[in-house]
Structure 1
Amino acid sequence: MSDSTETDYEVGQDNIQIMGLDIHNPVFAVSGLTIIAFVFFSLVFREQATEFFGWLRPALTSRFDWVFMIACNIFVVFSLVLIVTPYGSIRLGGADAKPDYSYAGWFSMLFAAGMGIGLVFWGVAEPISHYGSSMGGIAVGEDGVRTDWAPLGAAAGDPATSKDLAMAATIFHWGLHPWAIYAVVALALAFFSFNRGLPLTMRSVFYPLFGEATWGTLGHIIDVLAVFATIFGLATSLGLGATQALAGLNYLFDVPVTDGMKVLLIVLITGFALVSVVAGLDKGVKRLSEANMILAAALLILVLIVGPTVAILTGFFTGIVEYVRELPALSNWIGREDTNFMQGWTTFYWAWWISWSPFVGMFIARISRGRTVREFVTCVILIPTVVGALWMSVFGGAALDQVMSGAGQAVSDAALELKMFKMFEAFPMTGVLSFIGIILVVVFFVTSSDSGSLVIDTITAGGKTDAPTAQRVFWCILEGAIAIVLLLGGGLGALQAAAIATGFPFAIVLVLMCVSIFIGLAREKRRG
């Protein structure tokens, strides 16, 4: 297993040309046909699909929660250690490589692809949910001091403490752990592609572990798993985005909330994504991502100004402090009594992020040439964690302030997808804020779909980044179809079940990926 073997591997040796398509055989065929069959049977046997998805999520989260908890803790520790080791000075692409994008363009694309729709959907919904139910029950001693971590039942302790814990738990789900998952995959793909000359596809990462077997059946299985994880993880987010956008349209314009309207919305937004996909990475995805970041920043600043500004800013800092203090307890999986929180929230989130990791990781890898490992890990983990905490503190903090003051009952009672719009009712320019929120969801929807299509296309084309446009169009359409059948076959529960089911096997793949990264970086350092 020599370094020269890694570098000399021919990218397209098992690709075939059919009707203008550049197919990596058999990854394209197996993944494409399997997903088409899933769509067909889910539509034909809708009742059975609904029943199956209803069983799948609790079955996985109750039995394998420890797998997700342990794996994601490994990713955080591994990533943070890389920052302080000598390996941090290694540059992706070689010592003379220069970044392809500015910090602004780079950060906009990685952030929009990484968490866009989720932040908008859960920014109000999650802190409110934790405060009122799964995170509210705080064990408080006679002296008024919280004695242990017991997020059970309705709020029973000091409201301010409940608020801090709700924000800490929310930041936990959008902080170091998810971005460490992305960082592991992105770093592995970028290093083995840019520094070792291997194809930009998931199998390449495992060459140090499996050698030439990487290019055979084992590699096909890894790439097919990556396609499954990506497309079902994307479908979960697209379904959430469509649900929230339709709720906003109903709130503002009385658009009926029906299955038919959800399908129509997904079809329309998938159409916009197709336009961006055809335009390509620089003209389509990059410009949309930058526009999205400007729009997101504008909405955040507006809410910060018209909302309880001092309380929000104070809550941001107290939430960060509480997050750091409670991080060991939140990350622990042994002897937890709060199974509703750990299995219903944390395990789902970790599976969701893992299912997104091939998509987000490959996308970040493609735009990260020229960065050092230290710069890469710092920017991909620490900065998004702080920005995500700020977003959650602004939206969640404003909503919690309404609830604690007694004026937020409508927010508490609203469905998850409607909570943000109900919060806006208490602010000036309600209609403007709500409309910007809808546009933001739609554009995040588009950026996730188009960048996801580019990534899946790269995997199924054997690592090629310039595969025919028709293939990107195919995967973009298939993503929309998956989102539709999951919504029709069980709604939010089905979407979450699909993310967990595909995230579970890929969690094991990512742990092995950490070993492979370490071996690759050690060899690179020895080469000087």
Structure 2
Amino acid sequence: MNDTMDDQGIPAPEGPADIIETDYEIGQDNIETKIGPFGLDIHNPVFLISGLTVIAFVFYALALPEQAGAAFTWLFDFATKTFDWYFVGAANIFVIFCLVLVVTPVGKVRLGGADATPDYGYPGWFAMLFAAGMGIGLMFFGVLEPVYHMAVSSPLGTPSPFAEDGSLIPENVEAAKTMGLAATIFHWGLHPWAIYAVMALALALFSYNKGLPLTVRSAFYPLLGERVWGWWGHIIDVIAVFATLFGLATSLGLGAQQVNAGFNHVFGLPINATAQVLIISGITAIALISVVRGLDGGVKLLSEINMGLAALLLVFVLIVGPTMLIFTDFFVGLGAYMKELLPLSNPVGREDTAFMQGWTSFYWAWWISWSPFVGMFIARVSRGRTVREFIICVLIIPSLVCVLWMAVFGGVAIDQVLSDPGGSAVQAQVIDSYNPPLSLFAMLEGLPLSSITSTIAVILVIVFFVTSSDSGSLVIDTITAGGKVDAPVPQRVFWAVFEGAVAIVLLLSSGGLKSLQSMVISTGLLFTLVLVVMCWSIWKGLKAESRI
């Protein structure tokens, strides 16, 4: 374990002063923290540009919600319909790039140098990779997506198992169910984790091995040289801030909707925008306390409890549900995913455009927006691993956890729908009325102790909500402070507040959820290009490192 620890209990990356020899030059402004007005480290233009832009965005969306909502809706439709091939093709590049790293000699490069040893053993490391893969997304989509893809979205033209009168079509049931699982796993398997792996590898390589600041611009030193400390680097970091901010805002918005739905389901509280604003405000306030006091005394403990609750809920559903069918769904879904991986990854000539544009393009943009956040976490717990070991474990372990989650929650939901066509709560909330925030609670309603499990589910979403807001503000703060992990606390407070504010104004706009999705798509457009070029820079950095 490193002696240097940050307030998350995670080894902090070695800074420039800890590196005796490095190929690269680091400007003094990227090392020293300079405290300015209001206790902010604002000498870095990234903070001023991104901070002022976000403030202006919030005021615009509040002042003109109808106009903003219409603009966001148009932006979402334009981006998904025009650039669907771009998102799908780029995600394929990330998967291929990761596989190339595994089988080529550069895979022997060790993060942290040839003599570095892992900070964590395999059990602890796997647990943290698992934690990075868990979150509001799995809680929100774990039931919704398998059922929806089975019955409505028709990936690759697979026919629905339901006739127009709502009755089952027996010859379509198995194919539709299998495709529903395969399409869901596709969105939570190798492609998203390859996106995270690229970002995490870049941050780890250039921070641990080269001693550069822990920020996105550092990954481009092999291509830009000293220009990375100038406006080229500022532009890269500003794009990373916007991508991360709107990716987090989307997650917070989804979380607020699900918490509101959970309170309605368990306690009968109304579902409306006011309640969701209060939920986001309350969660942001809790996150602010954590930002000020540090994570060890509060949210870190809550996160550990949360992971235990998530495992408990998963095991409960596995046991009281159709257990053997769930295990079967796990292997059937995994096999179908491998079989359909190439057709689902094809970016051209697709007839299932609604699925590819409305689901896949959005997901890839969302994962790309989240990549600085998740990538930084993975990088900070992966020092000492070889690139080959890093890639294999980051791709495989979390993907399998996601497959298991979808097989358990999605498999039970699908069974409820097929066992009682037209009568299950899941069908009513997902297929008939399409009410995504209630889908998880509808599935739990069909199992014993639903009031208890629904309460646990609400608690899970809330704590995922808190930790996402808190950790996200730390990541954005690190980027805007030039890679410093000890930036002033008021700066963290600023970003925590405005993450919540962005989520609120997007939910209040006339577009609602579409507004959240549109901002992820738009920021993802630019940051996708950043990640693609980053692959080239990583390759150059690894080639140089492998010759040392």
Q: TM-score w.r.t. structure 1 length?
A: 0.93
- Structure 1 range deviating more: 234-243 or 399-408: 399-408
Shift of 1:89: 2.2
Structure 2: distance between partners of 1:506 and 1:379? 25
- For residues 492-515 of structure 1, the C-alpha deviation after alignment (integer angstroms, 9 at most, x for no partner) is 111111110111111111000100
What is the correspondence of 1:78-93 to structure 2 with a 5 Å cutoff?
Answer: 78-93=97-112
2:178 to 148, 164, 177: 164
Structure 2: distance between partners of 1:221 and 1:110? 30
Residue 546 of structure 2 corresponds to 525
Structure 1: distance between partners of 2:47 and 2:309? 36
> For structure 1, which runs of at least 5 residues remain unmatched after alignment?
137-148
> Measured at CA, do residues 113 and 482 of structure 1 come closer, stay the same or move farther in structure 2, by a change above 3 Å?
farther
> Measured at CA, do residues 447 and 422 of structure 1 come closer, stay the same or move farther in structure 2, by a change above 3 Å?
same
> Measured at CA, do residues 95 and 278 of structure 1 come closer, stay the same or move farther in structure 2, by a change above 3 Å?
farther
2:157 to 142, 150, 153: 150
Structure 1: distance between partners of 2:27 and 2:115? 23
Structure 2: distance between partners of 1:462 and 1:99? 26
Residue 149 of structure 2 corresponds to 130
* One-letter amino acid of the counterpart of residue 487, structure 1: L
Structure 2: distance between partners of 1:353 and 1:81? 21
* One-letter amino acid of the counterpart of residue 270, structure 2: P
Residue 450 of structure 2 corresponds to 430
Matched, 1:346 2:356: no
1:454 to 474, 497, 511: 474
Residue 35 of structure 2 corresponds to 17
Shift of 1:281: 5.3
Shift of 1:105: 4.4
Structure 1: distance between partners of 2:340 and 2:283? 39
> Measured at CA, do residues 410 and 210 of structure 1 come closer, stay the same or move farther in structure 2, by a change above 3 Å?
same
- Structure 1 range deviating more: 287-296 or 202-211: 287-296
Structure 2: distance between partners of 1:486 and 1:367? 33
Structure 2: distance between partners of 1:225 and 1:344? 23
Matched, 1:418 2:438: yes
SS of the equivalent of 2:24 reads helix
> Measured at CA, do residues 90 and 196 of structure 1 come closer, stay the same or move farther in structure 2, by a change above 3 Å?
same
- Root-mean-square deviation (CA, aligned residues, Å) is 1.8
What is the correspondence of 1:4-403 to structure 2 with a 5 Å cutoff?
Answer: 4-6=22-24, 8-10=26-28, 12=30, 16-19=34-37, 20-135=39-154, 149-151=156-158, 155=162, 157-280=171-294, 286-403=300-417
> Measured at CA, do residues 510 and 293 of structure 1 come closer, stay the same or move farther in structure 2, by a change above 3 Å?
same
Shift of 1:161: 1.4
> Measured at CA, do residues 306 and 13 of structure 1 come closer, stay the same or move farther in structure 2, by a change above 3 Å?
closer
- For residues 76-96 of structure 1, the C-alpha deviation after alignment (integer angstroms, 9 at most, x for no partner) is 111122222222222211122
Shift of 1:358: 1.4
| Structure 1 contact 21–468 (Cα < 8 Å) conserved | yes
Shift of 1:292: 2.1
- Structure 1 range deviating more: 45-54 or 14-23: 14-23
Structure 2: distance between partners of 1:446 and 1:417? 18
- For residues 213-252 of structure 1, the C-alpha deviation after alignment (integer angstroms, 9 at most, x for no partner) is 1111110000000000000000000100110011011011
Shift of 1:99: 3.0
- Structure 1 range deviating more: 24-33 or 92-101: 92-101
Shift of 1:115: 4.4
* One-letter amino acid of the counterpart of residue 428, structure 2: D
Shift of 1:337: 0.3
Shift of 1:206: 0.3
| Structure 1 contact 247–418 (Cα < 8 Å) conserved | yes
Structure 1: distance between partners of 2:493 and 2:121? 28
What is the correspondence of 1:458-469 to structure 2 with a 5 Å cutoff?
Answer: 458-469=478-489
- For residues 244-266 of structure 1, the C-alpha deviation after alignment (integer angstroms, 9 at most, x for no partner) is 01101101101111111101101
Q: TM-score w.r.t. structure 2 length?
A: 0.90
Structure 2: distance between partners of 1:107 and 1:265? 32
* One-letter amino acid of the counterpart of residue 263, structure 1: V
SS of the equivalent of 1:241 reads helix
Residue 501 of structure 1 corresponds to 522
- Structure 1 range deviating more: 154-163 or 46-55: 154-163
- For residues 415-473 of structure 1, the C-alpha deviation after alignment (integer angstroms, 9 at most, x for no partner) is 11101111111111111110111111111111111111110010011000111122111
> Measured at CA, do residues 446 and 17 of structure 1 come closer, stay the same or move farther in structure 2, by a change above 3 Å?
same
- Structure 1 range deviating more: 80-89 or 186-195: 80-89
| Structure 1 contact 105–290 (Cα < 8 Å) conserved | no
Shift of 1:323: 0.1
* One-letter amino acid of the counterpart of residue 344, structure 2: L
| Structure 1 contact 108–289 (Cα < 8 Å) conserved | no
| Structure 2 contact 33–487 (Cα < 8 Å) conserved | no
Structure 2: distance between partners of 1:24 and 1:418? 46
Shift of 1:13: 5.8
Shift of 1:24: 4.5
Shift of 1:276: 2.6
Structure 1: distance between partners of 2:373 and 2:201? 13
Structure 2: distance between partners of 1:471 and 1:363? 19
Structure 2: distance between partners of 1:502 and 1:331? 22
* One-letter amino acid of the counterpart of residue 412, structure 1: Q
| Structure 2 contact 161–176 (Cα < 8 Å) conserved | no
> Measured at CA, do residues 274 and 379 of structure 1 come closer, stay the same or move farther in structure 2, by a change above 3 Å?
farther
Shift of 1:282: 5.1
SS of the equivalent of 1:23 reads coil
| Structure 1 contact 183–381 (Cα < 8 Å) conserved | yes
Structure 2: distance between partners of 1:281 and 1:81? 37
* One-letter amino acid of the counterpart of residue 511, structure 1: V
| Structure 1 contact 112–444 (Cα < 8 Å) conserved | no
Amino-acid identity (%): 62
- Structure 1 range deviating more: 417-426 or 311-320: 417-426
Structure 2: distance between partners of 1:235 and 1:171? 24
Structure 1: distance between partners of 2:225 and 2:524? 25
| Structure 2 contact 142–409 (Cα < 8 Å) conserved | yes
| Structure 2 contact 161–172 (Cα < 8 Å) conserved | no
SS of the equivalent of 1:17 reads coil
> Measured at CA, do residues 182 and 52 of structure 1 come closer, stay the same or move farther in structure 2, by a change above 3 Å?
same
2:424 to 396, 409, 433: 409
- For residues 329-388 of structure 1, the C-alpha deviation after alignment (integer angstroms, 9 at most, x for no partner) is 000012100001000110010011111111211222222222221222122111000000
| Structure 1 contact 15–25 (Cα < 8 Å) conserved | no
Structure 2: distance between partners of 1:14 and 1:30? 20
> Measured at CA, do residues 102 and 487 of structure 1 come closer, stay the same or move farther in structure 2, by a change above 3 Å?
farther
Residue 492 of structure 2 corresponds to 472
| Structure 1 contact 245–442 (Cα < 8 Å) conserved | yes
Structure 2: distance between partners of 1:195 and 1:109? 22
* One-letter amino acid of the counterpart of residue 426, structure 2: V
Matched, 1:510 2:531: yes
Residue 492 of structure 1 corresponds to 513
- Structure 1 range deviating more: 38-47 or 410-419: 410-419
Structure 2: distance between partners of 1:29 and 1:179? 32
> For structure 2, which runs of at least 5 residues remain unmatched after alignment?
1-20, 163-168, 430-434
